[in-house]
Amino acid sequence: MGLGADQLEALAECIDLVNTGRRSLAGLSDEADELADVRGVMAFARRFRVENRSAVRATDAPRLRELRARLDAIVVACEAGREERAIRALNTLLAETGAVPRIVAHDGRPPHIHVSSATAPLADRIAAHSAMGLAELIVAGESSRVRTCASPQCDLAFLDLSRNQSRRYCDSRTCGNRIHVAAYRSRQSAAVSPVEVSPPAASRAAPASPAEVSPAEVSRAALGR
C-alpha cells in the first residue's frame, strides 16, 4: 500500500487524536484527559508541528474534544464497513472546519498540503487535517485498515500498514506479546493432566467367606484330612 508522506502524517495525527480520548475513557493515561486544557492542545499541536500554534484560544480545548469524538465515530464506522456513514460524517466535519486545501511550507519543512487556513481555530485545523487523512483512505478503498486493538485489555485505534492487513494489535511488543504469553500459559495448563493413583495391590488373598466353602471341604476338615 503506497501512502504519501502528507497522508501518513494526517492519519498518524488522526489516530493519535482519537486515542487521547480512548486512553482517557479507559483510564490508560496518567492524566484525566490529555486535551483537558489549552496546554494539552498546545502539546498535541507541537507534536504534529501544526503551524500558527500561538493562535490557540481557551475555546480550542472543548472544541477539539468534541471534534475528536466525531472522528472516533468515523473510525468506528470505517472499521465496521459502514463507509457511507463515514463519508457523510467526514463531509460534514470538513465543511464545518472550513477545509480549503492549499500548499504550504513552514518550520523548515518542504512544501506539503494543508486543508485549512492558518487563521482558522487551532482545534478546527487539527481536526480538518485528521479528517482529510481518513477521507483519502476511504477514496483509496482502504478504510478497513483503520481498526481497534484486538487485545481485550486495550481499546486503542491503529492503522494497519501491513501488505495483507494481518496486523491485530496496536503494539505487538505490548498487547500482542501479552496475548501470546497468556495463550502459551493456557496451553501449558491444559497439557498437565491429573495423576491417577491406583489402589495398592493386596498382599494376600482375602479369606473365603463361609458361603464360598463347599460341604465336602467342611467334612474333610472335621475328619482331620
Model confidence at 187: pLDDT above 70:
no
Domains and CATH numbers, the chain: 5-184 (1.10.3300.10)
Question: Residues 108-154: pLDDT tens digits?
Answer: 888 878 888 888 999 999 999 999 999 999 999 999 999 999 999 99
Phi, psi angle pair for 148, to nearest 5°: -105, 145
Q: 172 is written with which cell numbers?
A: 505487538
- Distance, first Cα to last Cα, the chain: 102
pLDDT tens digits along 13-66: 999 999 999 998 866 655 689 999 999 999 999 999 998 999 999 999 999 999
- Distance from C-alpha of 86 to C-alpha of 38, rounded to nearest angstrom: 29
pLDDT 10s digits, 159-184? 999 999 999 999 988 785 665 455 54
Q: 88-120: string of b/e by CB count within 10 Å (b at 16+)?
A: ebbeebbeebebeeeeeeeeeeeeeebbbeeeb
pLDDT digits (tens, 9 = 90+) for 87-101: 999 999 999 999 988
